[in-house]
Amino acid sequence: MHHITKIEHPNLSHVVDFGHVGDHVYFISEYFEGKTLANFRFSKARINLIYDIVVQICYALHALHNQNILHKDLKLENVLYRMEGSQILINLIDYGFSKVDPSRDSQHVSGTLPYIAPELLMGQQPTPRSDFYSLGVLLYRLCTGSFPFSVDQLNALITGGYQYFIPNFPSTLNKNIPPELERFILRLLERNPENRFQSGQEIIGYINRIHHDEFPFSASWSIVNTMRFNSYIVREK
């Protein structure tokens, strides 16, 4: 796991050390002062912030995927945010313990059940597209307050109901979600990984087109000094 200490990125809490205590793994990472996205409240006036959140998450995922690392537990509780005036700053935590290993037992599935991509529940190997599916669930929940699938639907999937795995439209739960954002969420949630976005940069390009924005394709290191405080926190994985 030494690879995780080498990754430095403005949207990732830098892991400086890690270790084992019995069967438990702990790691020491830079402290980011903020709340989890579970505390973020969606409104029509915050659409711009929603896209900014997604773009910054994609910056972080791109940095991980470039090192052949998957997050594999992307969820609201693992994304921190802080407001700096009108700007939102995003920081991903609890990453780096999921280096891609094709030889690993495919029956071992990491993550939090509602966020896990359907192909993983069917025994397939994880890929970056699995992280993008989790991003879709995160965004769905961020905008609606609900998960795209019920417990019964997830159980049906696990027992062989893959062909029936169709999410409810987000706008049925929140009428303030614009059509282009809804289409974006549903594409992230495509049951076939090949139909999802293939990279974080593709997602950013898509957002720039539908939102008529000009998000850069990589994070600016100019925000590092405002995001980091040179203090650390110990987490258990």
Q: How far apart are CA 201 and CA 197, in angstroms?
A: 9
Kindly name the residue from 73, 105, 131, 213 that is annotated as catalytic: 73
Q: 14 to each of 11, 35, 79, 170, 198, how far by Cα in Å?
A: 9, 17, 14, 34, 25
17 is catalytic: no
> How far, in whole angstroms, is CA 88 from its chain's centroid?
16
Q: 67 to each of 62, 96, 130, how far by Cα in Å?
A: 9, 10, 16
Most distant CA atoms of the chain, gap in Å: 52
Burial 44-75 (b: 16+ CB within 10 A, else e): eebbebbbbbbbbbbbbbbbbbeeebbbbbbb
Residues that are catalytic:
73
